[in-house]
Amino acid sequence: MRKTMLLAAIAVLALTTSQAITQEKKTLAVVVKGLDNPFFTVLGNGCAKWNENNPTSEYTCLYTGPALSSDEAGEVQLVADLLARPDVAGIAISPSNAPAMAAMLKEKAPTIPIMTIDADLLPEDAALRKTYLGTYNYDMGVKMAGHLKTLKPDGGTVCLQLGNVAAANINERAAGFRDTISGSKGIERLKGEGGWTEIDGCPTYTNDDIPTANQQLADVTGANADLDAFILVGGWAQFGPEAYAATTTALEPRLKSKELVIIAGDTLPPQMDALKAGHSHVQVGQRPFEMGLRAPDVLIQLIKGETVEDPIYTGLDECTQETAATCIAG
């Protein structure tokens, strides 16, 4: 009996000590647009890997965000709440609504390092964060357009599927696409420039909602039998693989003949499966795991007052049906 009580006491002491050590760690928060997006799950895996690689660090990486990517106000409030916590030493933010996030940061005037990850603030608000870590989003749009020009050199009709209206990263991709496909800077909507025209009802905005994205894909392609290209500037529809497969299976004759071309952002496993199955023609992939893995180290550099590059780009992977087996960087 005494031995059992002693072992129980030791277990409680060990647990208490472990909790105390954990509580003493300073928090490096990585705040994403929404925990419902599998892209951010991969980014969060990078944050978790950093913790695994740095068990004795005085810092711990906290991956968090609103439950739904559509909850822009919830993300802003979450960051505000983190700024009020004494254990939080730095925050990396992927702002869903860049102007709203900037307004809150101006009001709170944080004294801890703030950086952006995956999505940046608007250029006029760049001074509110120390650096940006992630994709060169304009170039992502450029690459999408380059592939479309190769696949459809004579031009045609196109629909762009975008995310949140105020998401700076998505708008940068759209700008890169339009500038490149048209050959002119600052095109807000394609009306024949470069041989390309955006159809009525497009661009569509998913608000980062997967079912909405798939419904838009089905509606647009169903109502426009002569559509030449559908561009998923982000991977939303493909993040619902069953619904995406159902829609694109019905489009297989058009996809196989390249009468209709689908180009999409990101290269998560279900997306690569779709590419290999012929349900898309090109995937331009970001590197979310690398973003999550590197963010804590960048925040620590900022905390120490070290000079950090701005921006820090993580690169892109360009995948076609022919290169699907080898296109993703190690």
pLDDT tens digits, one per residue of 136-167? 999 999 999 999 999 999 999 999 999 999 99
Report the mean per-residue pLDDT for the chain.
Answer: 94
The answer to whether the pTM exceeds 0.85 is yes
Q: Given this model, what pLDDT does residue 125 score?
A: 98
pLDDT at residue number 23: 61
The CA distance from 258 to 151, in Å, is: 8
**pLDDT at 34 exceeding the cut of 70:** yes
Determine the pLDDT at residue 187.
95
Q: Cα–Cα distance between 119 and 181 in angstroms, integer?
A: 23
pLDDT at 329: 85
Average pLDDT for 56-70: 97
Q: What is the pairing mode between strands 261-265 and 88-93?
A: unpaired
**Mean pLDDT confidence for 299-328:** 98
The pLDDT value recorded for residue 330 is 67
pLDDT confidence bin for 7, thresholds 50/70/90: very low
Q: Are 217 and 244 in contact (CB under 8 A)?
A: yes
C-alpha–C-alpha distance, residues 179 and 294, integer Å: 31
- Check if the beta carbon of residue 180 is closer than 8 Å to that of residue 5: no
CA 31 to chain centre: 12
Residue 81: Cβ within 10 Å count: 11
- Please report which confidence band the pLDDT of residue 10 belongs to, taking 50, 70 and 90 as the band edges: very low
Residue found by looking up tokens 């940061």 in the block: 105
What percent of the chain is modeled with pLDDT above 90? 92
Instruction: Give the chain's domains with CATH numbers.
Output: 2-135+288-314 (3.40.50.2300), 137-285 (3.40.50.2300)
Is residue 281 pLDDT above 70, yes or no?
Answer: yes
pLDDT at res. 8: 41
Task: Work out the average pLDDT over 85-105.
Answer: 98
Span 125-129, mean pLDDT? 98
Token output for 319: 């995948």
CA pair distance 70, 80, nearest whole angstrom: 18
* Whole-number pLDDT of residue 292: 98
Whole-angstrom distance, CA of residue 206 vs CA of residue 99: 19
